[in-house]
Structure 1
Amino acid sequence: MTAAVIDQAVALLRAGQVVALPTETVYGLGADALNPDAVARIFALKGRPADHPLIVHLPPEAALEDWAADVPAAARALAAAFWPGPLTLILRRHARVPLAVTGGQDTVALRVPDHPLALALLRAFASGIAAPSANRFGHISPTTAAHVRDEFGDAVPLILDGGPCRVGLESTIVDLSRGAPVVLRPGAIGAADITRVTGHAPAAQRAARQAPAPRASGLLARHYAPRTPAELVNGADLPGRLAALAAHGDRVGVLALGRPLGHGLALPDDPPAYGRGLYAALRELDRGGYDRLLIEAPPQDDAWRAVNDRLRRAVATDD
């Protein structure tokens, strides 16, 4: 990617336009985080509810005090250990951060992405870029530039192509706005990593006995979802469920674990590799013209926590 393309992206951002950019997690749909009108373009393009907050991506040199009103020691330690990287910190909002970015809340979500193209853009822009995933709201997150084009066509004036995303699942979100760390969304940075750095084991939100959690990206019951109806099935039950649906006349796509089964795909029996390939596999199956998708349920241990979180939301119904 040439400097001229980065300059073009910066010019678009400064003009209040949106730009799609790669990160190590998923592709983001970015706009100037300090420009409410530009932020509104993100919501309009995605069809995203206005009360659903965005994550602000920062250059590594940014001062947290410019974006957060209170920066506890644990936040500084986590930023030093994992930024650039797939970790988002929720802190009390600085007054300069528009409420449009935070969904009207008094907290702000911040991270520094670990992708050379994203970092080059952020350094050239020299400010924060609000960037949710570059997909229609609730749909499967994009992990390639082609996925972004599939979602938006020419509605996004510039898509920076940084290749496939290295992590492939959204960042871990840790809330530090209410005292002790609470994991709102699991990701590649796990609870053991957070404990090692802060000295405190983070609580999962459902176990936290604190004030109500701030709203955060990607926490709706149904999210990251294919348009084809999908369900999670235990491996032992998968052949029987597949046979029953086929007997009913349904055309079924399968996302299996470790080995192919039926008409579909398989992902490795390894949490990082599975997470890296998950969204691309779901998109491919979603284009397959199937009546239903069956997803073999991965193990339930901590190593698979982020994958299982995404899969549960992907198969949830709107009821």
Structure 2
Amino acid sequence: MKTEYVDLRDGKDIDEGLYKAAQIIKNGGLVAFPTETVYGLGANGLDENAVPKIYEAKGRPSDNPLILHISEFDEIKNIVKEIPNTAFVLADEFWPGPLTMVFKKSNIVPYRTTGGLESVAVRMPSNKIARELIKMAGVPVAAPSANSSGRPSPTKASHVMEDLAGKIDMVIDGGAVDIGIESTIVDMTGEVPIILRPGFITEEMLSEAIGRVEVDEAVKSLVQGLDFKPKAPGMKYRHYAPSGKMVIYKGDSKKVIELINEEIKKLIGKKTAVLATDETKDLYEADIVVSVGSRQNAENIAHNLFDVLRKFDEMGAEIIFSESFDENKLGFAIMNRLHKSAGYNIINV
């Protein structure tokens, strides 16, 4: 398959490019497109023959549910059974935006889309290209991240082409994404909303809007669980992983730097790398040292994280050491991604 690349970064010929993309989705094909979080790999979420192509192209386990993307709130009514009052509040506060809500699915949503679950995850992205594409396609668009399963999520069209060229019909280049980590996922099917995946919309922001919110125990766990059926994307399998072996060091900053440098000295003949910060990047003795941003700016760290992880692969890093970050607010989502990137390989200093 030849993958068509459409560059919409200059704002020209957007209608023509999106029309072609929408026709591909209508006809059962696959289109990668930008959202404000990461690039998504889209197909008609109601087409039982189209959805399996997503899993095949990504090499994604079939029990890992997909998110349906909509362009307007009214589109949700056909794909869910009921909408609790708290969901209306969250939609009013955070849609369009980086929030996914899980509802009991309607009968028109195929189990292939939901990973066999009776629930469906729904999101309304704020990215204009994404919204217009969904609107022109006229169907809810199932779209996980547009990368090979397990690799760092794509924040640029070049990342998508690197992973999926020759496996999908089209890639739309809308430039680098704004946020850089996937949406927050909240289960709305019970009495108390439960966070299934942390993201840019934090627990504090959700609680301020609707009151009590809980975090799923699987999200808080520092052990990779393989014996349960995931309720949402990203809960069960190793994700966001570079090719090299990765380990996270947690604890006092000076001690972390000292111990990482000690380990680097032992690894003769191995290409070592460190995921550092602006404050520490000059203190390491590894072959490769890349800053993910300043500790004073969690949004910048989130934006850069996946791009940095991919750079380690480009540079041939074999062993990667990573600093850790405060796990409050957005830091919780950042560390969630790092834990999965390292396969929960953590050293407490």
TM range, normalised to the smaller chain? Answer: over 0.9
Tell me the SS of whatever aligns to 2:50: helix
Structure 1 CA distance for aligned equivalents of residues 145 and 330 of structure 2: 23
Q: Pick the aligned partner of 1:83 from 95, 106, 109.
A: 95
1:207 Cα deviation (Å)?
Answer: 9.0
1:289 Cα deviation (Å)?
Answer: 1.4
- The count of residues paired between Structure 1 and Structure 2 equals 314
* Unaligned runs of at least 5 residues, structure 1: none
Aligned CA distance change for structure 1 residues 227 and 248 (closer, same or farther; 3 Å): closer
Structure 1 runs of 4+ with >4 Å offset: none
Aligned CA distance change for structure 1 residues 169 and 103 (closer, same or farther; 3 Å): same
What is residue 203 of structure 1 aligned with on the other side? 214
Aligned-residue RMSD, C-alpha: 1.8
1:317 Cα deviation (Å)?
Answer: 6.0
1:222 aligns with 2:234: no
Q: Pick the aligned partner of 2:324 from 297, 312, 316.
A: 297
Structure 2 CA distance for aligned equivalents of residues 251 and 214 of structure 1: 35
Q: TM-score, normalised by structure 1?
A: 0.94
Structure 2 CA distance for aligned equivalents of residues 276 and 30 of structure 1: 22
1:49 Cα deviation (Å)?
Answer: 1.2
Listed as ranges, the matches of 1:78-117 within 5 Å are 78-117=90-129
% of aligned pairs identical?
Answer: 32
Structure 2 CA distance for aligned equivalents of residues 54 and 14 of structure 1: 18
1:254 Cα deviation (Å)?
Answer: 0.9
What is residue 239 of structure 1 aligned with on the other side? 258
What is residue 287 of structure 1 aligned with on the other side? 314
* Unaligned runs of at least 5 residues, structure 2: 1-7, 9-13, 220-227
The one-letter amino acid of 1:294's match is: F
Q: TM-score, normalised by structure 2?
A: 0.86
The one-letter amino acid of 1:74's match is: T
Listed as ranges, the matches of 1:165-184 within 5 Å are 165-184=177-196
Q: Pick the aligned partner of 2:153 from 141, 145, 148.
A: 141
Given that residues 230 and 236 in structure 2 are in contact (C-alpha distance below 8 angstroms), is that contact kept between their aligned partners in structure 1?
Answer: no
Tell me the SS of whatever aligns to 2:290: strand
Aligned CA distance change for structure 1 residues 224 and 192 (closer, same or farther; 3 Å): same
What is residue 267 of structure 1 aligned with on the other side? 292
Deviations 1:248-306 (A, max 9, x none): 30221111022313422112212111000000000001221122011111123334100
Tell me the SS of whatever aligns to 1:244: helix
Q: Which segment drifts farther, 24-33 or 286-295?
A: 286-295
The one-letter amino acid of 1:238's match is: I
Aligned CA distance change for structure 1 residues 73 and 163 (closer, same or farther; 3 Å): same
1:221 Cα deviation (Å)?
Answer: 5.0
Structure 2 CA distance for aligned equivalents of residues 54 and 143 of structure 1: 19
